[in-house]
Amino acid sequence: MPFSPLRHVDSIFMKRKPIHVTFFVTKICNAACPFCFYIWREDGPAPGELTLPEIDRMSKSLPNLLWLSFSGGEIFVRKDFPEIVETFYRNNKPVVMLFPTNGIMTSKIVDTMRRLCKSCPDSRLVAKISLDGPPEYHDKMRVVKGCYDKAMATYEGLADLLDEFPNFDLGVNTVLCSDNQDMVDGFIDTIAETMPRITTHTVSLARGDMPSPELKNVQLEKYKAAVLKLEERVKNRELPVYRFPGGKWKAAQDIVQRQLIFDTAQAEKRLSNCYAGTLNVVIAADGQVHPCEEFEMNMGNVKDHDFDVMKVLESPEAKQIKADIKAWKCHCTHECFMMTNTLFNPKMIPKIAKEYVKLKPKPTTPASS
Ligand code: SF4
Ligand code: SF4
């Protein structure tokens, strides 16, 4: 069962090796959001991106993966992006691969996802389009005229792939910040009405070291209202869950995760174990390895360790960072790490199971192939 999620069940009890990797493929983006914590804002090329042969060496050092998230920058800007994905597919047999996109380059995104659905048939591929609010607001935040319309065209193109490929899923993510917190309730309805084929809609809190930090001043009650609305929809057959095996379990885990995010943000302290640096690893475009997206926690660069991520994780710097994390010296609300922190925490399993039995998702149409 090389691509089965079941091969990772032992990580609930033993945190031995990474199963969730986030790889920032590039710092370049064709948008310029004020809440972005990663893009290259200088003139000229971003320095030191790993090359495809270097990525191949690096991925060979990693074990088989449960979840592989690509990030950036805009991932589809990078010309050799399909080859990068296929390299990880070959070397790490990811169960799920996540492709977040601003949806601007419609034909490139749709063509690339079609190619990858064919070339990576045993992984589940999830494309997630970013949409933050009504067209005028969205275009202003992304600093791209017509960005919303382009994202909708990308949605139409990708929705067709749902019929062609059973290994494809399509979602929307909305970044919640102080500027759109009063419009998110209505916008959730807009997404449901205008994008009926999506299999998930998530809302994530603006995070990280961004140029406009005031955008992080979200009233937590508004976050809670938005996520409860999405939750109710999955309980009332109004919103589906991912089509991949375990999609309903993932939706139940999402509910527990959102509760944890709300409680953590309210308490302003860590409320659960964090497996960043052990089960989760973040690899930046230039090869720096971090436990999570707090980039000042720098464990070393694969370029200085024979492109071997496992060697980086054994460096003195990495050991110190992992010890600090284990000692609960930091906290955050970042969704990706909360995902692993809930899915692989034995104490959370009963809570997820309790939510699981309450879910009555909207049925989705299976792919024809
Ligand atoms: S689209 Fe994404 S990567 Fe690009 S600037 Fe906005 S948040 Fe950053
Ligand atoms: S709690 Fe947050 S900041 Fe700290 S290591 Fe975990 S993911 Fe990173």
Fill in the amino acid letter for 299: M
- pLDDT band of 139, cuts 50, 70, 90: very high
CB of 72 within 6 A of ligand 1: the answer is yes
Residue ranges around ligand 2 (CB below 6 Å): 270, 274, 276, 291-292, 294, 325, 330-332, 334, 337
Q: Between the CA of residue 207 and those of 291, 294, 368, what are the distances in Å?
A: 16, 10, 39
Q: Tell me the sheet residues that pair with 129.
A: 101, 172
State the average pLDDT over residues 201-224: 89
Q: Quick one: average pLDDT of 346-359?
A: 93
DSSP string of 8-52, one letter each residue = GGGGGT---S--EEEEE--S--S---TT-SS---SSSPPTTPPPH
Is residue 276 over pLDDT 80? yes
Q: Which of 38, 99, 105 to mutate to test the pocket of ligand 1 (most atoms within 8 A of CB)?
A: 38
How much of the chain, in percent, has pLDDT values that exceed 70? 98
Report the C-alpha gap between 334 and 230 in whole angstroms.
18
Q: Which two tokens stand for residue 330?
A: 């930091």
Spatial CB neighbours of 31, under 8 Å, sequence gap ≥ 6: 74, 102, 104, 142, 143, 144, 147
Please work out whether the CB of residue 188 comes within 6 Å of at least one atom of ligand 1: no
CB 218 within 8 A of CB 178: yes
| Beta bridge partner(s), residue 169 | 126
Taking the C-alpha atoms of residue 54 and residue 61, their distance in angstroms, rounded to an integer, is 11
Q: Is 313 in the pocket of ligand 1 (CB under 6 A)?
A: no
Distance 349 CA to ligand 1 centre (A): 34
Q: Where are the beta strands (DSSP E) in 260-309?
A: 280-283, 288-290, 300-301
The tokens describing 215, both together, are 């955008």
Are 26 and 87 contacting, i.e. CB atoms less than 8 angstroms apart?
A: no
pLDDT the model gives residue 184 = 96
pLDDT digits (tens, 9 = 90+) for 305-345: 999 999 999 999 999 999 999 999 998 888 878 888 898 99
pLDDT tens digits, one per residue of 84-101: 999 999 999 999 999 999
Q: Is 367 a residue whose pLDDT tops 60?
A: yes
How many angstroms separate the alpha carbon of residue 241 from the centre of ligand 1?
A: 25
Q: How far is the CA of 106 from the centre of ligand 1 (A)?
A: 16
pTM, whole model, 2 decimals?
Answer: 0.94
Ligand with an atom nearest the CA of residue 281: 2
In the numeric block, which tokens belong to residue 360? Answer: 């009555």
Ligand nearest to the CA of 33: 1
Instruction: Write out the two tokens for 354.
Output: 């309790």
Summarised one tens digit per residue, pLDDT across range 180-200 is: 999 999 999 999 999 999 999
pLDDT at 368: 65
Q: Is there a contact between 309 and 62 (Cβ–Cβ < 8 Å)?
A: yes
State which of 205, 282, 331, 340 you would mutate to test the pocket of ligand 2, scoring each by most atoms of that ligand within 8 A of its C-beta.
Answer: 331
CA 133 to centroid of ligand 1, rounded, Å: 15
Cα distances (Å, whole numbers) of residue 208 to 23, 26, 213, 320: 16, 17, 9, 22
Place of tokens 């990495």: 318
Handedness of CA 129, 132, 137, 143 (dihedral sign): negative
